[in-house]
Structure formats: structure tokens, C-alpha cells
Amino acid sequence: MVLSEDEVLIIVRDITDRKQAEEALRIAEENYRSIFENALEGIFQSSPQGKFINANPALAKIYGYDSPEEMMASITNISEQLYVDQEKRTEFRYLLSKQNSVKDFEYRCYCKDGSIIWIQIDARVVNDNNGNVLYYEGIVQDITERKRKEEELKRQLQELQIEIDHKKRQKEVASLTESSYFQEVQQEISNVNLDEFWS
């Protein structure tokens, strides 16, 4: 088709579907970002080498930081800077390598101020198309209060067991003192004249 100088060719393409898809994608991204930013649990992505790639505000708060950016800039080696027991990081990575996910994994970690808290983590491995590990991602909860209550309950149960054992011994002694044999021995002892015994 050849156009003269006075003619203009206008091509109109209906992009309504594309615009609607873009808007739906934008809304979905906003919704997921809101969930990530406002979750009560800590959410993270970290490299196998031990560096945070992404973290939400709740995770930063759990570890005592004011923002995810501050936390990610400060923590350059998760294993050395967070884990109280280095073996737990090794165990965590081993479980992920064998199972591709870990549920209810508990460990003690350091906070920014040096205090120690208990953490429970659910995590999974994210791989590329060739099966190589890209990163770990997961959810973290501070379970320090739960652990404290468990220890208190354990202590109370131990004290209760001691009290029960003591009461059992008292009952055994009481039943022994009420036996006819004990009463006969007691009678014989009271009949002994101590002056004669010592002379």
C-alpha cells in the first residue's frame, strides 16, 4: 500500500487486555508487598554463604534492628553473627541439602544488643533450573517466651515430683510406725533402764 503526501495511515491496536493484565499484576505486587512488609513473622531470603538477600521489618525487629536495611548491612555472616551454636547452622544447612525444607527448626541466636533469644524457623531451598541452590527463604518466629514458659513448667514439675516423693516417704514412715512390729520394738526400748544400760 502506497500513501500519498496527503494521506495518513493510522494503525490502532486494542491494548485493553494488556493494560488490564498490567494493572492486575501491579495490584497483585502491591498486595504481596503489603503482606511481606506487614507480616508479624520475620520473612527472609538468604544466600547459602550466609548473607541476607531480602528481609522484612518483622525480621529486623526480632533481631533488634530498626530496619531491614540496617540489619542486612550489619549482618554479613549469619552463621558467625547470629548463631550462638555454630553447629546449629551446619545442621540447618545439612537438613536443607537433604530435604529441601526445614520445619520448626529451633536455635539460639544473638540480637543486635548481644542478648540471646530462641528462634524457630521454617525454610526451604530455592533452586535454579539446573538444581543449583539460589537461596534459602523462610519464616522466623521469636519463641523465647515459649521456651521460658517451658523451662518454668519443667522446673515446677521437678519440684512437684520432689514433693510427691517426700510425701510418699512420709507415708511409708507413718505406716511403718503404726505397724505392730514397730510398736513392740518401741515398747522394748522404753522398758530399758538407761541407768542399768550405762553401768
pLDDT in tens, the chain (199 residues): 677 778 877 777 887 887 888 888 888 788 788 878 888 999 999 999 999 999 999 999 999 999 999 999 999 999 999 999 999 999 999 999 999 999 999 999 999 999 999 999 999 999 999 999 999 999 999 999 999 999 999 999 999 888 888 888 887 777 766 777 777 777 777 776 666 655 5
C-alpha to C-alpha distance for 183 and 189, rounded to whole angstroms? 10
- Report in angstroms the alpha-carbon separations of 113 from 100, 109, 152: 32, 11, 25
C-alpha to C-alpha distance for 103 and 123, rounded to whole angstroms? 7
C-alpha to C-alpha distance for 79 and 81, rounded to whole angstroms? 6
Can you say whether the dihedral through the CA atoms of 64, 115, 147, 156 is positive or negative?
negative
Can you say whether the dihedral through the CA atoms of 75, 80, 81, 82 is positive or negative?
positive
pLDDT of residue 173: 76
Exposed / middle / buried, residue 139 (Cβ in 10 Å: 0-12, 13-18, 19+)? middle
C-alpha to C-alpha distance for 127 and 46, rounded to whole angstroms? 13
pTM (two decimals): 0.69
pLDDT of residue 101: 96
Q: Which three cell numbers stand for residue 67?
A: 530496619
Tell me which DSSP letter residue 145 carries: H
pLDDT of residue 1: 67
Neighbours of 44 (CB within 10 A): 24
